[in-house]
Structure 1
């Protein structure tokens, strides 16, 4: 009986956190605007990390660089409030490298109205730049 109670509390709290992360980070609003019915053909990186406006998704994302856009999906166990999405390349307004000490990441800014910054692995940057036509701007 105690185990069942702990399991129910764990699932309830975990689901609540996933809903909050989707709301705060921007995944929820982007997924509503750009739902993905399927995973289109492209270059896929599985079990990757990313962050949405500061909310981290560590080693749980599938990132796809496709002709139609940027495909993002959370590992199925954590998919509560995180449906897969396909962001069209026309919504990507900036792609740049973000450095922190010796670490580098690819920051992708999505949307003109409500901007969401998605931080992806550096290996995705050349393909994203190729698809969007955005090149590096030097200060």
Structure 2
């Protein structure tokens, strides 16, 4: 009986410690990447549909490999992350007028489209460059 209770306590302790560490890591990544800064300016409600999922990208200093969600509308570019990584990462709606220095970037890992938003560099897969350019030319 004591062994079973001890195992339950160990499991409960692990869940608590893991949850605290996960939360801290998610908030730290959001802060280091510049996402928190962008959220202070461009926070919105997450899209329920009409977005690309599993997007690889880079926001500031942080890589978001396969966890980004990306959407485009006449209002701007939507960015948010999968629910498991949401802590500290509010959904963003960045107006088209705020996207600066939009350009193609090449690296050994592939081609990307880069832009700056209020001092934070955002890199997205090049396959979205055409869509991004279309919206930029139509709404700026």
Give the secondary-structure state (helix, strand or coil) at the position aligned to 1:62: strand
Q: What is the aligned partner in structure 2 of residue 11 from structure 1?
A: 19
Q: Secondary structure at the match of 1:20?
A: helix
Matches within 5 A, 1:1-139: 1-39=9-47, 44-101=51-108, 103-111=110-118, 115-133=119-137
- Rounded Cα–Cα distance in structure 2 between residues aligned with 1:12 and 1:38: 24
Richer in helix (by share): 2
- The DSSP-based 3-state class of the residue aligned with 2:47 is coil
TM-aligned CA deviation for residue 61 of structure 1: 1.1
How many residues of Structure 1 are paired with residues of Structure 2 in the alignment? 130
3-state SS of 1:39 partner = coil
Change (3 A) 1:62 1:90: same
Larger-gyration structure (1/2): 2
In structure 2, distance between residues paired with 1:40 and 1:3? 35
**What is the distance in 2 between the residues matched to 1:2 and 1:90?**
52
Which runs of at least 4 in structure 1 moved beyond 4 Å after TM superposition?
A: none
Q: What secondary structure, in the 3-state scheme, does the structure 2 residue paired with 1:5 have?
A: helix
Q: Give unpaired runs (5+ residues) of structure 2.
A: 1-8
Question: How far, CA to CA, are the matches of 1:126 and 1:94 in structure 2?
Answer: 15
Q: CA deviation at 1:4?
A: 1.3
Structure 1: gaps (5+ residues): 134-139
